[in-house]
Amino acid sequence: MELLSGAEMVVRALRDEGVKYIYGYPGGALLHVYDAIFQQDEVQHILVRHEQAATHMADAYARATGKAGVALVTSGPGATNAVTGIATAYMDSIPMVVITGQVMSHLVGEDAFQETDMMGISRPIVKHNFSVSHAEEIPTVIKKAFHIAQTGRPGPVVVDIPKDMTTPTERFEYEYPKSVKLRSYNPISRGHSGQIKKATDLLLAARRPVIYAGGGVIMGEASNELTELAKLLNYPVTCTLMGLGAYPGTDRQSLGMLGMHGSYEANMAMHHSDLILCVGARFDDRVTNGVDKFCPTAKIIHIDIDPASISKTVKADIPIVGPAQGVLTEMLELVAGSKKHPDESALKAWWEQIDEWRARHGGRYSTDDSELMKPQQVIEMLSKVTNGDAYVCSDVGQHQMFAAQYYKFNKPNRWINSGGLGTMGFGLPAAMGVKLNFPDADVACVTGEGSIQMNIQELSTCKQYDLPVKIINLNNQSLGMVRQWQDMNYESRHSHSYMKSLPDFIKLAEAYGHVGMKVEKYEDLEAAMREAFALKDRLVFMDIYVDPFEHVYPMQVARGSMRDMWLNKTERT
Ligand SMILES: Cc1ncc(C[n+]2csc(CCOP(=O)(O)OP(=O)(O)O)c2C)c(N)n1
């Protein structure tokens, strides 16, 4: 058996786990590991400019592929810089392994130089964390970390490694375990057949059904099964912000997104439904609005891998704990083999009602009231220029909601955004993580001047590793989403939501070695965007000036029911 140091074992274990890229930043506690990285070329290291970006790159890789991404950061400030990225992945149930360097074991607890209690700090924002206390454990700990991150409800796992566990002169027999067993961790592998049968009966008896699909459908690789079931039944489907792409967005049965900025038809259909089939979603407050007023006439079937999600905020009538793919496959078989069928006339009436809602307010915005380009027009153009087939990585704010509403995702894993934590600064590193792993794909980062400046330093990483992403900056010269809330709730007192002295983004992009493009008129947009995407091997920063007074609509009225919405600045339901 081969003898390896702890540092070598870290790298070898990652290789044996099939990891191609790790994203990181070195420091004292990790120097042995970095030396081991230097001495091999199978696991490639991407040197970011800030540790937060390393975690977002790893996270976006996971969102695009379903496999855990890996970040490597040093102790102390390196680890604390990674905290936002870990929490981002945790809130969206994204598999990720974050290896953090730690001070020497004998110094732990001594306030040593660059010591921070990463076990304590990360505890509330990880699925699990490990501290390595014997170097020979490293392969098993890393195997366990991947196993926990990727199975059941996925999530980030931190592996904290004191420097003396990686000493180059101390060598141990290395073997990477093929599998691991954890006594207290047994994620459920299939749903309860009796519950699935009951749910199917209820589903077939529904008169006003809605399928409500979340990120769990995407991470659970169940989009095909969900689509097949919806098609077989001819039932409408609405997706959460995290679930966009789980069902084809351009299909007639798609109602688009639901919730705070959901479509009129999706929110109306939810409110009036008699049966909601929720798959891989968690009745988040951005979906339900006032829980006490949530969908008063609906029975609820809730399929989720995590028992803790069931009846957490909204009581499920039929809970099914299990992997979405397996449960939906069983449901499909039952529906296909059933003698019962949905009541055709009831379903016809339901579709007529939905189409009427869609015709009344579906996905429209006004271009009349201003000469300025509308942000929605930019997203529609992005969809057109990329044939709806790009990876769209977004930051957080109005631009994120416009992208969610107006880019029609027909495939899963294409919409990459921070839904749960809402992390500004996510977009650019996320786009980088996707582009590195899918070099031939069109990868866009939809952002705003606030968000892009939170990790703008990564333009330098893009240059070093040749990551020609296209940055679509919807420039409204403000923290638009904050300004919108101030307009709506604080009589337009714009406290610190306008950004003065913005940099010249064109010059800034050029300073980093990229291409900058300024677009001020809608007439110029299509040509400019086509040119940007035609520049296959150049990063292009498109600084697009949009109407700074635009709001995102619909917007649910706080603490109301799902159907209580502002439809524009003056009209509400
Ligand atoms: C790290 C972080 N800080 C603060 C916020 C609160 N926040 C949410 S949206 C937003 C404004 C975003 O502005 P910008 O990126 O310019 O996008 P816009 O809304 O103008 O499209 C802010 C400050 C956040 N989500 N994340």
448 CA to middle of ligand 1, Å?
8
Q: Are the C-beta atoms of residues 398 and 375 closer than 8 Å to each other?
A: yes
Q: Residues 284-296: what's their mean pLDDT?
A: 96
Q: In what order do the strands lie in the sheet with 299-304?
A: 254-257, 237-239, 209-213, 275-279, 299-304, 318-321
Torsion of CA 117, 121, 125, 128, to 10 degrees: 30
Nearest-CA residue for atom 1 of ligand 1: 424
Q: Is the CB of 423 under 6 A from ligand 1?
A: yes
DSSP 309: G
Q: Are 475 and 543 in contact (CB under 8 A)?
A: yes
- Per-residue pLDDT of 88-117, as tens digits, reads 999 999 999 999 999 999 999 999 999 999
Ligand 1 contacts CB of residue 445 (under 6 A):
no
Of 432, 428, 442, 373, the C-alpha closest to 402 is: 373
Ligand 1 centroid – CA 230 distance (Å)? 35
pLDDT(363) > 80: no
Q: Note the pLDDT of residue 183.
A: 93
Q: Is the CB of 149 under 6 A from ligand 1?
A: no
At residue 525, the 3 state secondary structure works out as helix
Checking if the pLDDT of 146 tops 80, the result is yes
Helices (H), 289-323: none
Both tokens assigned to 505: 């983004």
Dihedral-angle region of residue 547 (phi above 0 means left; psi in -120 to 50 means alpha; beta otherwise): beta
Q: Which residues contact 355 (CB under 8 A, 6 or more apart)?
A: none
Mean pLDDT of the chain: 97
What is the sign of the dihedral through the CA atoms of 412, 415, 420 and 426? positive
Average pLDDT over residues 537-561: 96
Distance CA 114, CA 27 (A): 10
Instruction: Give residue 237's pLDDT.
Output: 98
How remote is the CA of residue 98 from the centroid of ligand 1, in Å? 26
Contact 462, 434 (CB under 8 A): no
Q: Express as a percent the part of the chain with pLDDT over 90.
A: 98
Confidence category of residue 294, pLDDT binned at 50, 70, 90:
very high
Best of 50, 451, 551 to mutate for ligand 1, by most ligand atoms within 8 A of CB?
A: 451
Alpha-carbon span 367 to 371, nearest angstrom: 8
User: Does residue 480 have its Cβ closer than 6 Å to ligand 1?
Assistant: yes
**pLDDT value for 89:** 98
Q: Which residues are catalytic?
A: 51, 113-114, 163, 481
| Terminal-residue alpha carbon distance, the chain | 71
Distance (Å, whole) CA 273 – CA 296: 9
pLDDT of 362 reads 77
What is the pLDDT at residue 519? Answer: 98
Question: Is the CB of 451 inside a 6 Å radius of any atom of ligand 1?
Answer: yes
Check if the beta carbon of residue 156 is closer than 8 Å to that of residue 125.
yes
C-beta 400 within 6 A of ligand 1: no
CA-based nearest residue to 421, from 158, 242, 177: 242
Contact 412, 246 (CB under 8 A): yes
* Whole-number Å distance between alpha carbons of 359 and 60: 36
Q: Which 8-state DSSP code applies to residue 87? A: H
Block residue for tokens 């490293």 = 138
- Amino acid symbol at 201: D
State both tokens at 245: 């792409």
From the alpha carbon of 375, which atom of ligand 1 is closest? Answer: 21
Band the pLDDT of 72: cuts 50, 70, 90.
very high
478 Cα–ligand 1 center, Å: 9
Determine if ligand 1 sits within 6 Å of the CB of residue 455.
no
Task: Tell me if 476 sits within 8 A of 398, measured CB to CB.
Answer: yes
Q: How far apart are CA 412 and CA 296, in angstroms?
A: 31
Q: Is the pLDDT of residue 367 over 90?
A: no
Q: Of 26, 125, 35, give the one whose Cα is nearest residue 76.
A: 26
Q: Give the pLDDT band (50/70/90) at residue 371.
A: confident
Atom of ligand 1 nearest to the CA of 449: 16
Ligand 1 centre to CA of 422 (Å) is 8
- pTM over the 0.75 mark: yes
Q: What is the pLDDT of residue 370?
A: 74
Spatial separation of the C-alpha atoms in residues 129 and 118, rounded to whole Å: 9
Atom of ligand 1 nearest to the CA of 421: 25
How are strands ordered across the β-sheet holding 156-162? Answer: 44-47, 21-25, 69-73, 96-102, 156-162, 128-131
Which tokens sit at 19? 């990891």
| Residue 401 beta carbon below 6 angstroms from any ligand 1 atom | no
Cα–Cα distance measured from residue 257 to residue 278, given in angstroms and rounded to the nearest whole number = 14
Give 124: exposed, middle or buried? Use CB within 10 Å, 0-12, 13-18, 19+: exposed
- At 334 the three-state DSSP class reads helix
Give 396 Cα–ligand 1 centroid separation in angstroms: 5
Q: Which residues contact residue 474 at a Cβ distance below 8 angstroms, ignoring those fewer than 6 apart?
A: 375, 378, 398, 399, 402, 446, 447, 448, 480, 544, 546
